[in-house]
Amino acid sequence: MAQRFNKILVANRGEIALRVIRGAAKLGYKTVAVYADADAQSLHMREADEAVHIGASPAKDSYLVIEKIIAAAKTSGAQAIHPGYGFLSERAEFAQAVADAGLIFIGPDAHSIDKMGNKSASKIRMIAAGVPCVPGYQGDDQSDETLVAEARKAGLPVMVKAAAGGGGRGMRLVFEEKDLLAAVQSARSEATNAFGSGQLLIEKAVMNARHVEIQVFGDRHGNVVHFGERDCSVQRRNQKVVEEAPSPAVDDALRLKMGAAAVAAAKAVQYVGAGTVEFMLAKDGAFYFLEMNTRLQVEHPVTELVYGVDLVEWQLRVAQGEALPLAQAEILDNRFGHAIEVRLCAEDPQENYLPQTGPVLRWAAPAGEGVRVDTYLETGCTVSPFYDSMQAKVIAWGEDRETARQRLLKALDETRFLGLVTNKDYLHAILSHEAFAGGDFSTGFIGQYFSQETINAAKPTARQIVLAAVALYLDDARRLSEQHQIDTEMIGWHSSHETGIDFKLKCRSAETELELLAHDGHLFTASIGECKVVIDVTRHSAMGFAYIADGVQGKAQVARNGDALWLEAEGNTWCFIDRTLAPVEGPAAGSDGRLLAHSDGKLVAVHVKPGDVVEKGQTLAVLEAMKMEFQLSLPVGGVVEAVAVAAGTQVRNKTLLVQVRPQV
């Protein structure tokens, strides 16, 4: 008989920790959170019944230390550990350590994780189990020469992939033979830093395919079932951006075939608990095994909404030794409607998805029919540089795909995330695109429709710039009124004729000067180039204002932090820097030969030493921030005078890394 438990430690943080804590509490379990220094005031820590501090902010000193997690469970009296996803969730040694400590691991057994944890080994096992696999190489000889030769044998294009990881790291798509060696070496370096293993495999690239995965579930009574598919084809850098269930490309017959293959894969490793078998689906309907994720997935909410189940509840029941609550036929009969999820990230699409950190000035989650939000965010919290850039998941369900899509668009419109750059507008643009709306797309969707040049072309309109000036005027007036107890009716009053107010506003690299005329404190006019803008403010508060422009009433949401004003209006969010009284800016960053860290992160590599002659645009160092690697260079060439930090060092934003004496 299985060991019973009533107190669960959640070995994770952020939205997934909160999701598990709330799900377990709803079922009557007591919960224990763990937290690092950066999460000392976090929502997941506060909502748990108990919380245990496990170390410094870097994950390697806290969330990734098995001994600290086990000790926290022992100290708190928790009898079971839920790993969430990421961190230790797919580490066989962690599952084994939990079992060895006499605790229950809420997930698959260590042997199942081990068999599926390495992509090369799992692919060999799947071939033996009769699961369709992509042609390629997954052998033990990991020399550059062998990998390049096997890639040539498979036939270009090929995918070079880390055998020990996921999340798009350690993956390179190669189209030309001349790029093979560099891709192998780069993928190995990134995989070693991300997963502690540089083992790679080669797979023939199936172009214009979809990424379709099957949710599976097993118990200790020999039952394994599936919950149909999720389509995760909208990706950038092999990282999922949008997920949905069911897939627009899968019919009932194909669903049964893919489901049967996924169940066979799970049975091949005696799988227990929640897992996901990922496939590549070609245009002709052929599908190929990619990998198995031996944990709960980020995108599990879309399956829950479509099949009417709570997968965390199922995890807890199975961990208690119970049989699966439903049989396969019942599960498939329960499928109803469509659900779509987007990953809301603190990253800047216009800066090559550079992760963003800092205080959240304002957060408000949307609500409404069919809308669900999984997040840990709250106004006043801080997005840390130590963890993943994903901060929330916004999900919508509808009776059909179009209803779900429209609900999700509206939910994004009503999401407030101000204080740092996010991908919210980018997500809205993806959902609005006619190719996504039509459902006919592949993993090349973002590359095809959202090139970096297309993304970078977005800029604020003349009206949005004027709205920013109006927001600054109203905020200054409100603060003045509060400080000096001036009646708000006096805002905008003049003892003589009205005079314009000069503004100099910077948004990204563009600076705009304008004169704003305020009439009676609510009617504003300004001209930018040939465009004259008239804004009539009908009501306002510290969080924004309503206005009429060209006969249409709109709303502007605002948040301010010193000279930085965050404005969300007319479908876009922009950060404007008030430079009206600021001194003249210096030359472009890096033109003085100083290479600075562009974000908080860890220095993965330094490619130069003092005395080296470097060229403009040459990679000098590699910085890892929020699980992504960035090649850092300068806009000038010259001679390296000094290297200020070594590889492996955790650095803050703007830290000096390399000093170059520019060529004259």
Q: Which residues are catalytic?
A: 295
- Helix H, strand E, coil C: the string for 49-115 is CEEEEEECCCHHHCCCCHHHHHHHHHHHCCCEEECCCCCCCCCHHHHHHHHHCCCEECCCCHHHHHH
Question: Is residue 514 classed as helix, strand or coil in its secondary structure?
Answer: strand
Q: Is 121 exposed, middle or buried (0-12, 13-18, 19+ CB in 10 A)?
A: middle
Q: Which of 391, 423, 395 is nearest to 410 (CA)?
A: 395
Question: CA-CA distance, 435 to 445, in Å (whole number)?
Answer: 8
Residues 190 and 201 sit within 8 Å (Cβ to Cβ): no
Type of residue numbered 86: G
Q: What are phi and psi of 17, to 5 degrees?
A: -60, -45
Task: Give ∠ CA 260-312-196 in degrees, rounded to 5.
Answer: 80
Question: CA-CA distance, 395 to 408, in Å (whole number)?
Answer: 7
Q: Is 586 exposed, middle or buried (0-12, 13-18, 19+ CB in 10 A)?
A: exposed
Q: Under the phi-then-psi rule, with left for phi > 0, alpha for psi from -120 to 50, and beta for the rest, what region is 308? A: left
Q: Which of 398, 386, 395, 389 is nearest to 366 (CA)?
A: 395
Question: CA-CA distance, 19 to 661, in Å (whole number)?
Answer: 52
Residues 463 and 570 sit within 8 Å (Cβ to Cβ): yes
Q: What are phi and psi of 453, to 5 degrees?
A: -65, -40
Question: Is residue 321 classed as helix, strand or coil in its secondary structure?
Answer: coil
Question: CA-CA distance, 262 to 589, in Å (whole number)?
Answer: 51
What lies within 8 Å, CB to CB, of 66 at 6+ separation is 88, 91, 93, 94, 97
Question: CA-CA distance, 398 to 350, in Å (whole number)?
Answer: 32
